[in-house]
């Protein structure tokens, strides 16, 4: 004789609800990874004081866009004055900075240097007179030349103030003003970083200028490195490797040529 267990009408709704609950839990477990995978990766925010209208600003952006594309990380670039950039980077409000000197990490403990430099710059004396020659900075005192430097560029100020009397040396507010004074013959030389000179010479107002040349360089070549906040320390080595690869495959120089052509047509 077979025995059948009779289920009361009160048990059926309860079991039905239990089945629905179990099904809902199983569905949530299977859907959770899909939701996590579909969430967009948060962009890494890099700060710069160079606007995208300048030669250096355009070139740097192109380099970083390609570097982060190779890393598979979205990039956001924000423009701000240098003092604000320093404060925002130290606080972690921005994730990194385009360029700083090698020793920057010594006084900014929250920052991690990317060991592969982006590029190098030099200080030099720039002239427009084709007849001028000078072998050493020390020989400047024997001339009657009048010179200028951009205000705040301490290597120029420190080197020249010891070589020339104050009536033969002054400062200007901007690179553009310095170049205009040089081209007008109001001064004989202008002390400046090579990168700043290129930025200015590629502006429309200096489009046909060909006479400005580097007379001599002095001091050590200065390597400019990317910097990241320490919360992204693990990314520093990966970014260094990508930049090294981009130098080897010619990408950095190709970008320089492209940006120069876009700005000057040459």
Which of 78-82, 98-102, 162-166 shows the lowest mean pLDDT across its residues?
162-166
Q: What is the pLDDT of residue 2?
A: 44
Question: Do 239 and 109 have their domain in common?
Answer: yes
Position 35 scores a pLDDT of 45
Same domain, 71 and 50: yes
| Cβ-contact 47, 98 below 8 angstroms | yes
Q: Residue 157's CB: how many other CB atoms inside 10 A? A: 16
Please say if the pLDDT value at position 70 is more than 70: yes
Judgement on whether residues 102 and 141 belong to the same structural domain of the protein? no
Does the pLDDT at position 7 exceed 60? Answer: no
**245 in the same domain as 161:** no
Please check whether residues 179 and 208 belong to one and the same domain. yes
What pLDDT shows up at residue 41?
Answer: 78
Overall domain count for the chain: 2
Query: What is the per-residue pLDDT across 218-231, written as a single tens digit (0 to 9) for each?
Result: 988 999 999 999 99
* Residue 40 DSSP code: P
Q: What is the pLDDT of residues 169-196, one digit of tens each?
A: 999 999 999 999 999 999 999 999 999 9
Note down the domain range covering 162: 121-221
Say what the pLDDT of residue 21 is.
Answer: 54
The upper half-sphere exposure of residue 234, i.e. CA atoms within 13 Å in the direction of its Cβ, equals: 1
Q: Does residue 127 share a domain with residue 97? A: no
* The pLDDT of residue 36: 47
For the cut 80, the answer to whether the pLDDT of residue 87 exceeds it is yes
The whole-number average pLDDT for the span 95-118 is: 96
- Domain membership of residue 26 (yes or no) is no
Residue 265: pLDDT band with limits 50, 70, 90: confident
Q: How far is CA 131 from CA 156, 165, 211, 233, in A?
A: 23, 23, 11, 51
What is this structure's pTM? 0.76
| Tokens 């299977």 belong to residue | 30
Residue 1 scores a pLDDT above 50: no
User: Quick one: 138 and 217 in the same domain?
Assistant: yes
pLDDT at residue number 78: 98
Specify whether 111 is located in the same domain as 237: yes
Residue 4 has phi, psi (to 5 degrees) of -115, 135
Residue with tokens 């409000």: 93
Tens of pLDDT, residues 11-67: 555 555 565 555 555 554 444 454 445 566 789 999 999 999 999 999 999 999 999
Helix, strand, coil in percent for the chain, rounding step 5: 50, 20, 30
Q: For residue 238, what are the contacts with CB-CB under 8 A and spacing of at least 6?
A: 71
Q: For residues 76 and 43, give the distance between their C-alpha atoms in angstroms, rounded to a whole number.
A: 6
pLDDT value, residue 33: 52
CA distance 59 to 257: 9
- Cite the beta strand spans of 128-193 per DSSP E: 147-150, 169-172, 189-193
Residue 68 CB coordination number (10 Å): 20
Q: What percent of the chain has pLDDT over 70?
A: 85
Q: In CATH, what number is assigned to the domain containing residue 201?
A: 3.40.190.10
Residue 32 lies in a domain: no
Instruction: Reply yes or no on whether the pLDDT at 128 is more than 60.
Output: yes
- pLDDT number for residue 233: 97
Relative to beta strand 75-79, strand 44-48 is parallel
Do 136 and 251 reside in the same domain of the chain? no
């Amino acid at each position: 004789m077979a025995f059948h267990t009779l289920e009361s009408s009160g048990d059926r709704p309860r079991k039905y609800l239990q089945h629905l609950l179990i099904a809902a839990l199983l569905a949530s477990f299977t859907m959770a990874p899909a939701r996590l995978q579909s969430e967009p990766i948060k962009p890494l925010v890099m700060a710069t004081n160079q606007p995208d209208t300048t030669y250096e600003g355009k070139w740097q952006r192109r380099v970083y866009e390609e570097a982060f594309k190779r890393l598979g990380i979205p990039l956001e670039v924000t423009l701000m004055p240098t003092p604000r950039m320093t404060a925002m980077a130290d606080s972690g409000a921005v994730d990194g900075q385009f360029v700083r000197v090698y020793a920057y990490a010594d006084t900014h403990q929250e920052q991690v240097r990317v060991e592969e430099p982006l590029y190098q710059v030099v200080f030099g004396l720039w002239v427009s007179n084709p007849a001028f020659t000078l072998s050493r900075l020390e020989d400047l005192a024997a001339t009657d030349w009048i010179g200028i430097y951009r205000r705040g560029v301490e290597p120029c100020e420190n080197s020249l103030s010891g070589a020339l009397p104050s009536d033969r040396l002054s400062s200007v507010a901007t690179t553009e003003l310095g170049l205009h004074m040089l081209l007008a013959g109001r001064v004989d030389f202008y002390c400046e970083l090579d990168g700043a000179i290129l930025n200015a010479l590629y502006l429309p107002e200096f489009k046909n200028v060909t006479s400005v040349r580097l007379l001599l360089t002095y001091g050590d070549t200065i390597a400019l490195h990317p910097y990241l906040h320490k919360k992204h320390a693990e990314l520093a080595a990966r970014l260094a490797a990508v930049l090294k690869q981009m130098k080897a495959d010619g990408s950095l120089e190709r970008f320089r040529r492209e940006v120069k052509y876009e700005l000057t047509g040459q």
